[in-house]
Amino acid sequence: MMRAARALPTLIRVGMVEAIAYRAEMVVWLLTTTMPLVMLGLWTSVADEAPFRAWATRDFVAYYLVALVVRNLTSNWVAWQISEEIRTGAVSGRLLRPIHPFLGYLGTHLGAVPLRAIAVAPVIVIMMWTSARGVLVTDAAHLALVAAAIVGAWLLTFGVFLCLGALGFFLDKAMGIIEVYFGVFAIMSGYLIPLALLPGWVRAIARVLPFRSMLGDPVAIAIGRVPDAGDAARLVALQWAWAIGLLALATWLWRTGVRRYEAFGG
């Protein structure tokens, strides 16, 4: 365990070098996550007439710009990576290393975070020049909770994508599932529409699913929609519980999948 922990800084450093090598792909990837900007244009034109269910234009601007930042900081492509490595047999190389393969993936994708942060920095700068600035939380407790929520969202997203990738051990075309996943995620996470504006029955479903913890809740905390720090802390605690649960599920799926791989051939 200690040996694996000692390897992590090098894994992250190599991950950063890889991210720089793949910078063009990353820009293209980031361009695919601009849906919040489309929705921003739509909702601001609605709200310009009159506030929509207590959401003014600046609330929508803040919501979608923060959503863009959170989504880009916390996303990764580990599901595709695992799926491809299983399909081509490259995962064998990882199985022959004396550390858990998840640690290798963790290094690669943590290494990409600084480049992602640089990419979204202009969005943050722009936000500071807009009316959204007045909506963002500024007190220390909320800022700490926002930071914890972003880290938690990263871990939760990583856990979900590890699960989706590990399905490649069981299904020939596991990536087909990711299309379904994105459909559900877009609605239930608040990526397309703030959860508060969804019909009651959809909100009820979203409440018991992990997707809101991946995006909607961190954004809501950041733009002051959860004014009570205790409530925000409870949301973060729930999010971390989901993250731990999903990472545990991913570990189980991986272990079961590797046994299947061992049985049927790599």
Partner 1 sequence: MTIEVAGLSKHFRVHRRPPGLAAAVRSLWRRRYDTVKAVDDVSFTIARGERVGFLGPNGAGKTTTMKVLSGLLHPTAGAVRVEGHQPFRREPDFLRRITLVMGQKQQLLWDLPPSETYALNRAVFGVDPAQARQTIAELTELLGLAGLTDKPTRQLSLGERMKCELAAALLHRPTTLFLDEPTIGLDVAMQVTIRDFIRDYNQRHDATVLLTSHYMDDVVALCPRVIVIDGGRLIHDGDLRALVKTMLPDKLVSFTGGVPAEEVARLGEVVKAEGGRTTVRVPEARLREVVSHVLDRAGADLAVEDPPLEDVMRKLFKDKRAAAPAAPPAEPPP
Residues of this chain that bind partner 1 (CB under 8 A): 3, 6-7, 9-11, 13-14, 17-18, 21-22, 89-90, 92-93, 95-99, 104, 259, 261-266
Residue 129 or 264 having the CB closest to partner 1:
264
Residue 60 or 105 having the CB closest to partner 1:
105
CB of 208 to partner 1, least distance (A): 34
CB of 157 to partner 1, least distance (A): 24
DSSP structure string for 195-224: GGGS-HHHHHHHHTSSHHHHTHHHHHHHTT
CB of 261 to partner 1, least distance (A): 8
Q: Burial-class residue 220 by CB neighbours within 10 Å (0-12, 13-18, 19+).
A: buried
Residue 52 φ/ψ, nearest 5 degrees:
-105, 110
Residue 3 or 53 having the CB closest to partner 1:
3
CB of 6 to partner 1, least distance (A): 7
Nearest CA-CA partner of 158 in 242, 68, 260, 224: 242
Other residues' Cβ atoms within 10 Å of the Cβ of residue 239: 24
Residue 10 or 34 having the CB closest to partner 1:
10
User: SS3 of 52, please?
Assistant: strand
Tell me how far apart the 2 most distant CA atoms of the chain are, in Å.
Answer: 63
Residue 5 or 46 having the CB closest to partner 1:
5
Residue 24 or 125 having the CB closest to partner 1:
24
How far from the centroid of its chain's Cα atoms is residue 178's Cα?
14
CB of 246 to partner 1, least distance (A): 25
Question: What is the dihedral angle through the alpha carbons of 19, 21, 27, 28, rounded to the nearest 10 degrees?
Answer: -110
Nearest CA-CA partner of 116 in 222, 25, 9, 251: 25
The CA–CA distances, whole Å, from 257 to 90, 247, 250 equal 15, 15, 10
Residue 100 or 203 having the CB closest to partner 1:
100
CA–CA distance, 232 with 240 (Å, rounded to integer): 12
CB of 117 to partner 1, least distance (A): 21
Task: Read off the DSSP letter of residue 191.
Answer: S
CB of 95 to partner 1, least distance (A): 6
